[in-house]
Amino acid sequence: MCRHRRGTVALAANQLRFPQSWLDSESTYRLTVEKAKEATEGATFARNEYEKWSNAWKDAKKALAETLKRHDIDRAALADERKLIKMIMRMIGKMLHHHTVFLLELAHLLPKSMQCWGAVPADRSAFRVRFGI
């Protein structure tokens, strides 16, 4: 093999290695660019998801505060209604008691003939026991 031919073969081998190393570095560069692009997309996605979560958290917190406020108002209204109902029941109980006492007073004014029919008890204690007074 002549010297010229050896140099050509060596040059051809170097030329073959150069494109291979260039292809390797180009591939590494493109892979790095693709990784950076994916990382940017991932960061954007994570940021958007965090914003959604943050907004949902704020909305839920606001809704909870409104619900608790409304609940407190409703509970106060129910407590007032309960007090009113208790007062009315107490008044009804007093009226029934006074009415019963009044009927007892009237019962003794009735003639004895009506008392023996069983419409009116003969004494107050039996009447009180019967009606729980």
For residue 123, report the phi and psi dihedrals to the nearest 5 degrees. -130, 160
Classify residue 132 by its DSSP letter.
T
Residues 6+ positions from 78 with CB-CB distance below 8 Å: none
Helix-strand-coil percent breakdown of the chain, rounded to 5?
Answer: 90, 0, 10
Total length of the chain: 133
Range of the domain at 98: 3-131
Q: Do residues 93 and 101 make contact, with C-beta atoms less than 8 angstroms apart?
A: no
For the chain, helix (H) and strand (E) counts, in that order, are 3, 0
Domain count, the chain: 1
Per-residue pLDDT reduced to its tens digit, 8-47: 555 555 555 666 777 788 888 999 999 999 999 999 999 9
pLDDT single digits (tens) 78-101: 998 999 989 988 888 777 777 776
